[in-house]
């Protein structure tokens, strides 16, 4: 018991000191995404084949015409994001989400099988990572599952309120 008390008395101050140092340390400007870095990542993203199989779970889009069309729609969306960042003022979150929504909604999920639909959503989720957005605010879920299912998902994620 004495060993545990000594361990706790030693560990807590060390952990709290590390936490204070980490939270008070200024952010490294090299770690923040810059406009040039975002544009570079989007340019590379445009060139990728997003619908090639991974030889494990995803078999890829087999219809070459559909694959080319999907990749072109991804590239067009990436280009729209690039245009936002080429403007003098940085884009707002609302502008980025509007572009995300317009981009994914140009693809009809009813014309894709489940695996390909998931791949489209995953690809658009990668846009969020590149742009530094934490959430699509339901855009991807709505496209993937439809409005009704998305409403149920959101309803179930809210805490239960009692009168």
Q: What is the mean pLDDT of residues 17-46?
A: 65
What does the block give as tokens for 72? 């072109």
What does the block give as tokens for 126? 């990668």
With both helix axes pointing from N to C terminus, report the angle between 64-86 and 93-105 in degrees, rounded to the nearest 10: 160
- Which residues neighbour 43 within 8 Å (Cβ) at sequence distance 6 or greater? 78, 82
pLDDT tens-digit series, residues 25-38: 333 344 447 899 99
pLDDT tens-digit series, residues 99-156: 999 999 999 999 999 999 999 999 999 999 999 999 999 999 999 998 766 566 566 6
Contact 104, 124 (CB under 8 A): yes
CA gap 137, 141 in Å, rounded: 9
- Which residues neighbour 134 within 8 Å (Cβ) at sequence distance 6 or greater? 128
What is the pLDDT, as a whole number, of residue 152?
Answer: 63
- Banded pLDDT at 87 (limits 50, 70, 90): confident
What is the pLDDT, as a whole number, of residue 19?
Answer: 38
Contact 103, 76 (CB under 8 A): yes
CATH code of the domain containing 143: 1.20.1480.40
Contact 70, 120 (CB under 8 A): yes
What is the pLDDT, as a whole number, of residue 159?
Answer: 66
Who wins on pLDDT, 113 or 18? 113
Indicate whether 10 belongs to any domain.
no
Domain of residue 85: give its range.
35-157
The count of domains in the chain is 1
């Amino acid at each position: 018991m004495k060993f545990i008390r000594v361990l706790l008395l030693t560990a807590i101050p060390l952990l709290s000191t590390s936490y204070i140092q980490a939270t008070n340390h200024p952010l490294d400007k090299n770690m923040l995404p810059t406009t040039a870095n975002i544009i570079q990542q989007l340019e590379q993203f445009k060139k990728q084949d997003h619908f090639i199989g991974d030889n494990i779970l995803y078999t890829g889009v087999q219809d070459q015409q559909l694959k080319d069309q999907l990749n072109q729609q991804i590239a067009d969306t990436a280009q729209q994001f690039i245009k936002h960042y080429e403007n003098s003022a940085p884009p707002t979150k609302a502008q980025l989400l509007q572009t995300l929504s317009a981009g994914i909604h140009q693809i009809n999920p009813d014309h894709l099988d489940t695996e390909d639909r998931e791949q489209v959503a995953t690809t658009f989720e990668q846009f969020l990572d590149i742009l530094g957005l934490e959430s699509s605010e339901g855009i991807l879920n709505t496209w993937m599952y439809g409005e009704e299912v998305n409403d149920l998902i959101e309803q179930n994620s809210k805490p239960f309120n009692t009168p």
